[in-house]
Amino acid sequence: MKVFQIGAAGGVGSRLSRLLTESGDEVTGMHRAPEQAEKIAQWGAIPVTGDLIQDTVEDLAGKMTGHDAVVFSAGAHGTGMEKTTLIDGKGLEKAADAASKAGVSSFVLVSAFPESERGKGLGEGFEHYMRVKKTADIYLAQTDLDWLIVRRAC
């Protein structure tokens, strides 16, 4: 299977890239920073530069074309509420729309358990993150894609 992985250099993404390539899948790992390419290649994946904020739906669709599935494990990782909205929220929307445009019907979203750590005084940034993740989950669920949402505790 040819898998297009968004967020391949992250914690979840790096583990998944290794597991997929070890099982014989061909993984194209999208990353933002040039220095991440070598790390992705070491895991057996094909690195491709991309940016969920700057790339258009058409840009992303062009990168996804020819793949069987998309895995979205990207995240803003505490870089602020604006980037959380742009990457975890709007970035997911762009990626889902791009997958449809590219004819890639299978889409896996690594999300967050909706009530994980809620009410523990982690602040408005965390509450914003949880709202954005929930909105992204709903967006994906309303598409025509064959989707799977994997929720993890934060």
* Beta carbons within 8 Å of 72's beta carbon, 6+ residues apart: 6, 7, 92, 95, 107, 108, 109, 110
3-state secondary structure the chain: CEEEEECCCCHHHHHHHHHHHHCCCEEEEEECCCCHHHHHHHCCCEEEECCCCCCCHHHHHHHHCCCCEEEECCCCCCCCHHHHHHHHHHHHHHHHHHHHHHCCCEEEEEEECCCCCCCCCCCHHHHHHHHHHHHHHHHHHCCCCEEEEEEECC
pLDDT of residue 126: 77
Q: What is the mean pLDDT of residues 133-137?
A: 92
Domain residues for the domain of 23 are 2-152
107: domain CATH number is 3.40.50.720
pLDDT of residue 131: 87
* Beta carbons within 8 Å of 104's beta carbon, 6+ residues apart: 4, 64, 65, 67, 68, 69, 70
pLDDT of residue 84: 87
How does pLDDT run across 70-97, given as a tens digit for each residue? Answer: 999 998 777 778 998 999 999 999 999 9
Q: What is the mean pLDDT of residues 47-68?
A: 97
Q: What is the mean pLDDT of residues 110-119?
A: 67
pLDDT of residue 125: 76
Of 129, 130, 132, 136, which one is the catalytic site residue?
129
Structural domain total, the chain:
1
- Would residue 139 show up in a list of annotated catalytic residues for this protein? no
